[in-house]
Copies of this chain bind each other. A is one copy, B any other.
Amino acid sequence: MLIATPQSMHFPDSLPLQSGTSIRAYDLSFETYGTLNAGKSNAVLICHALNASHHVAGVYVDDTGKVKNKSEGWWDTMIGPGKPVDTDHFFVIGVNNLGSCFGSTGPMQLNPDTNKIYGADFPVVTVQDWVDAQARLLDALGIQTLAAVMGGSLGGMQALSWTLQYPSRVRHAVVVASAPNLTAENIAFNEVARRAIVTDPDFHGGHYARHGVLPKRGLRIARMIGHITYLSDDVMNEKFGRQLQAPTLVALRTALPPEGALRLQSGKAGPAAPVGEEGGRLPERTSNPSPFKFSTQEVEFEIESYLRYQGDKFSEYFDANTYLLITRALDYFDPASAFGGDLSAALAKATAKFLLVSFTTDWRFSPVRSREIVKALLDNQCDLSYAEIDAPHGHDAFLLEDPRYLGVVRSYFQSKVAL
Chain A interfacial positions (CB closer than 8 Å to B): 18-21, 120, 123-124, 181-185, 187-189, 191-192, 194-196, 198-201, 206, 217, 220-221, 224-225, 227-228, 231, 233, 236-237, 239-242, 288, 290-292, 294-297, 300-301, 303-304, 307-308, 311, 321, 324-325, 327-328, 331-332, 334, 337
The answer to whether B195 touches A233, judged by C-beta atoms less than 8 angstroms apart, is no
Shortest CB distance A147–B (Å): 33
Bound: A337/B289 CA distance, A: 13
Majority SS of interface residues in chain A?
A: helix
Bound: A1/B325 CA distance, A: 52
The answer to whether A185 touches B236, judged by C-beta atoms less than 8 angstroms apart, is yes
The answer to whether B228 touches A332, judged by C-beta atoms less than 8 angstroms apart, is no
Shortest CB distance A6–B (Å): 27
Bound: A123/B332 CA distance, A: 46
Query: Which 7 pairs, one residue from A and one from B, show the smallest C-beta to C-beta distance?
Result: A19-B294, A296-B324, A184-B236, A124-B294, A184-B240, A192-B224, A199-B217
The contact of A228 among B21, B185, B195, B311, by CB within 8 Å, is B185
Query: Which residues from B are CB-within-8-Å of A185?
Result: 228, 231, 233, 236-237
Bound: A331/B296 CA distance, A: 10
Q: Please, could you name 30 A-B residue pairs with CB atoms under 8 Å apart, sorted by A?
A: A19-B290, A20-B288, A20-B294, A120-B296, A124-B296, A181-B242, A183-B237, A184-B233, A184-B236, A184-B237, A185-B233, A185-B236, A187-B242, A187-B303, A188-B227, A188-B303, A189-B228, A191-B224, A191-B304, A192-B221, A192-B228, A195-B224, A195-B311, A200-B217, A201-B201, A242-B334, A292-B332, A296-B325, A297-B324, A300-B331
Bound: A296/B288 CA distance, A: 49
Counted per complex, copies of this chain come to 2
Query: Which residues from B are CB-within-8-Å of A236?
Result: 183-185, 188
Shortest CB distance A55–B (Å): 25
The answer to whether B221 touches A297, judged by C-beta atoms less than 8 angstroms apart, is no
Query: Which residues from B are CB-within-8-Å of A303?
Result: 184, 187-188, 191
The answer to whether B221 touches A199, judged by C-beta atoms less than 8 angstroms apart, is yes
Query: Which residues from B are CB-within-8-Å of A187?
Result: 242, 301, 303-304
Query: Which residues from B are CB-within-8-Å of A221?
Result: 192, 195-196, 199, 221
